[in-house]
Each structure stands twice: as structure tokens, then as C-alpha cells.
Amino acid sequence: MAAAVKKRDYSLIGPEGKLAQERGMVAAEWYQSPIPRPRMKELMKRKNGPAIRDTVLWFALLAGTGWLGTVVWGTWWAVPVFLVYGILYATPGDSRWHECGHGTAFKTPWMNEAIYQIASFMVLRSATPWRWSHTRHHTDTYIVGRDPEILTERPPVWRILFMQILHLYGGPIEIKRFILHCFGKLDAHEKEYIPPSEFNKTFREARIYLLILLGVVATCIWQGSLLPAMLIGLPSFYGVILMLCFGITQHLGLYDDVLDHRLNSRTMKMNPVLRFLYWNMNYHVEHHMFPMVPYHALPALHEAMKDDTPAPRPSLWAALREAIGAMIRQGKDPGYAVIQPLPETARPYMYGLQEIPYITERIRQATGHTNGKTDTEGETA
Amino acid sequence: MTEQKWVEVCGANEIEQEDVIRFDYGDRTFAVYRSEDDDYYATDGYCTHQRFHLADGFVMGNTIECPKHNGRFDYTTGKAKKAPVCVDLKTYPVKVENGKVYLSANE
């Protein structure tokens, strides 16, 4: 039976943040799978080699498809070529932004920082504000009223998700923020998670980003062609489809307000090409539970903890189907969330410091236990 | 002047090279490090950004990385090196005598 769940306020400056604090869900201790320290030390080891190889390959692919795009510009061949270029621009842009933001992709700190700055511009994310936004996302993953990176609320706002196919919702918001930052201002939400000591850096970065974008616009006008913008700037809009698909699979359709990443994050299998583009972020439960493990060690981390986690979804398609199917059900029943059974070897799911009645009751109804060991795939929360 | 009070932490070999352990003393918690060169150091146990135990983090050279948000400190000086940490860590004197590590936990 569908439980009546009140529509919640996902804003960082609304009442939900305070409620989360009162429930002990803010900056709380999260469940971690048991991995012996010596093994964890091996997994955490940093290397430059894999990230240098992948970065050289990425830039070479961008240069190659970008050059081809200029050759076929003005013909219909430009459509598929720029679709590939855009996907190669935005998808690794997002994953490199992410990994280098954590500072784990390369062993050498300046390499992480250099790629982080470049990738931030490519995906139109202010480097410093988004570093802090992502920090909060890791502190309070999908805690309503606290996490600024919840892709869509429950029930989902389909208009926003459809607009995001071309980054038409988030893109303009980011550009507006660049302009705001240029004038030395931040919006109210950003002030929630960016410390004042980082304000000046934020303003400086925005001025550089806008200068580059204005330079691209000026070049377009000077050349009387859209081509320069097709190479720099516009791919952040027309090339985001795969990045959006990846983003949807990370947490959507799963639980809000829990302290166990096995309940609110999704791991899926992927072919090597997609894993190159996504830098192994398909191992999303593993990444959230142990963010100091670099992307190149995530397959090994997955092996080390698979007896304690739900089985990975078999493909990107399966993960998307699960997430979108759950969101469709959430349209009628916002409390619905997918729960995956745990293997017999796993420790029980952990819900929160103070158990949330509607979640524990749902688990009990669905499984007869409080650890979700069942083949039930989803129930009303 | 307050006299330094030394507290026994562990055997010197109980910390691996380039590693860290957690040491709780009273209601306080510390992180005690052994460097690649067999030097020992101690800092507050919690990251200055949020209350996560640094002893669960990763030691690279003179750097400790927080396990939760990847903030970094130079554990020999306590200096904050990478966001999201902005505030330095407090460090404490450490000595090794007769194969034991001692920490001076004076405030």
C-alpha cells in the first residue's frame, strides 16, 4: 500500500536541513564495508600513469574529432561528427572534473588541479563552488535539505530532466552564476556550503571563464561562423546526453535520507569504452564509501567488497531502466524507492542514527527482515 | 611552565612505515604517524574540516589525506594543504624510547 508522503522541500535554505540536523543525519557516520587496512592501503595508492595515458588519449580524440568537424563543417557529416565530439568533450569533462576534484586521479597534485580547472570550464562548473558543493554531496549524500547535488526531487520534475538533455536547465543557471561571481556575489545556496575564505578565488575563476567564453563569441562574430563555439562552449550543451544518462544512474530511484551508500547509490557493469569515458564511476557505491580510492583501483575495490554489496546492475541500460522506472512510479507515489537484496555474506543495511519509521517499516514489509535480504526489487517507502 | 607529560602510545614497530594509527587518550583522539624515514609525528585525530578520523586516511610522504573528503595536511607541521581543509591541524611532540612511542598530549 502506498504510504502518504508529503512533498518535501529540497532547498538548502528551507526547513529540511534543520530537520536532518535534528535527526542526526548531518555529517554523520556512514556505513563502511569491512576491508582490512593493508588491503585498503594498496587500493588507495596513487599513480600518474593511468591518468596521464587516459588524458593524452582524451585530448587526442578531441583534437582528432574537432579537426574532422572543421573539415566537414557545412555538410550533413558535421552532425554525427560533432555529436561524437560533444560526447567526448562533455562526458570525460564531467568524470575528469570529478576525479581530479577529489585529487585522486593523478599522484602529482598540480596535475589534478590543472585538469580539474580545464574540465570545470568544459562542463560549465565554477571550479571552487563545485568543489565545495561536491564536498557537501559526499558529507550528506542525498540527505534532503543538505545535498546540493540531488539531480531531481521526488516526485521527479520531468521538465527539468528533459531540459537537461541539452543542459538547458543547469547551463543557464551556471552562466548566471558566473556573471554573479564576476560582480563579486554568490547566490544564497552557494553561501550555504562555500566558506568565505574561498570567495575571492570563486570570483577570479568566473572572470576567467567569462573572458574565454566572450573570446569565443567574439571569434564567432569575427569569422561569421558558429564553428568556434561548436568547438568550445556549445559542446557543454549539445554533448551532455551520455553524461546525463550516467548521472541519472548514480542515485535516482534509490533512497533519500539514509546513512548507507548501498541504499542510495548504484553500481553497474560497463564496457571498457564507457568506463574510459566515465573513469570507472559506474562503481558508484564503492566510490562513495571509499572516496580516497582512485578511479583506476575501483574495479579492485569492487572485488574486495562485493560480498557486502548488492549485485551490480548488469548494464547502463539496465541501470537506466531501473532508475527511470522508479521515477515514473514516484510520480504517483513519491515514497517509492528501489531496494536491492544483499548477498547472504553482507552486513545488514544501516538506515540512520535514528531510524526513519517509514523506511524501516517498508523494509520489514518487503523482506520480513530489517536487512533487505530478499529478491524484492522495490517497494513503497 | 607546564611540565610535559608523556603518554605511551604503542610499540614503535606497531605503526608501519608511511602509515598512521589512531590513539585515544581520555576523551581526546590523536593520529600518530610513522614516516618513510622512521620519524614519528602526532596530530589531532580529527580532520579540521569535519569530525572524521584521519587514521582511516592515506599517508603519502609527509601528507595525510582525510578519508571522507580528500582534504590534505602536512602531518609534520599540521599545515592544511588541500581543500576542503582550510584550518591547520594541531601537532604534538613525540619521542621514541626503548622501542616505545610516546606522545605529549598537553593542550
> Residue A335: pLDDT band by 50, 70, 90 thresholds?
confident
What is the pLDDT, as a whole number, of residue B10? Answer: 96
> pLDDT tens for residues A287-297?
999 999 999 99
Residues from chain A that touch B58, judged by Cβ atoms under 8 A, are 41, 44, 292
What is the pLDDT, as a whole number, of residue A7? Answer: 75
pLDDT at A104 over 90: yes
Compute the count of residue pairs across chains A and B with CB atoms less than 8 Å apart: 44
B29 close contact with A: CB closer than 8 A: no
What is the pLDDT, as a whole number, of residue A121? Answer: 97
- Å between B69 CA and nearest CA of chain A: 6
* pTM of the entire predicted model: 0.90
Quick one: average pLDDT of A56-68? 98
B53 close contact with A: CB closer than 8 A: no
The average confidence (pLDDT) of chain A is: 91
pLDDT at A376 over 50: no
B58 close contact with A: CB closer than 8 A: yes
Task: Provide long-range contacts, Cβ within 8 A and 24+ apart, for A46-49.
Answer: A46/A104, A46/A106, A46/A107, A46/A294, A46/B60, A47/A107, A47/A294, A47/A296, A48/A106, A48/A107, A48/A108, A48/A111
Task: Give the closest of B50, B57, B86 to A292, CB-based.
Answer: B57
Quick one: average pLDDT of A47-69? 98
> Residue A363: pLDDT band by 50, 70, 90 thresholds?
low
Residue of A nearest to B68 (CA): A291
> Domains of chain B by range and CATH?
6-104 (2.102.10.10)
What is the pLDDT, as a whole number, of residue A373? Answer: 39
Quick one: average pLDDT of A323-340? 93
> pLDDT tens for residues B27-49?
999 999 999 999 999 999 999 99
What is the pLDDT, as a whole number, of residue A251? Answer: 98
Quick one: average pLDDT of A255-264? 94
B86 close contact with A: CB closer than 8 A: yes
Which of A25, A32, A37 should be substituted to probe chain B, the one whose Cβ sees the most B Cβ atoms within 10 Å?
A37
pLDDT at A2 over 50: no
What is the pLDDT, as a whole number, of residue B80? Answer: 96
Q: Do B86 and A131 count as a contact with CB atoms less than 8 A apart?
A: no
In whole angstroms, give the CA distance from residue A336 to residue A362.
10
The average confidence (pLDDT) of chain B is: 93
In whole angstroms, give the CA distance from residue A342 to residue A347.
8
What is the pLDDT, as a whole number, of residue A379? Answer: 44
What is the pLDDT, as a whole number, of residue A5? Answer: 54
Question: Could you write out the DSSP letters of every residue in A80-109?
Answer: HHHHHHHHHHHHHHHHHHHHHHHT-S-SSH
The domain limits of chain A are 33-329
Residues from chain A that touch B82, judged by Cβ atoms under 8 A, are 103, 109
What residue spans of B1-107 are helical by DSSP H?
A: none
Quick one: average pLDDT of A110-128? 97
pLDDT at A63 over 70: yes
Residues from chain A that touch B49, judged by Cβ atoms under 8 A, are 135
> pLDDT tens for residues A268-316?
999 999 999 999 999 999 999 999 999 999 999 999 999 999 999 999 9
Task: Give the closest of B50, B58, B83 to A292, CB-based.
Answer: B58
In whole angstroms, give the CA distance from residue A232 to residue A213.
8
Residues from chain A that touch B19, judged by Cβ atoms under 8 A, are 41
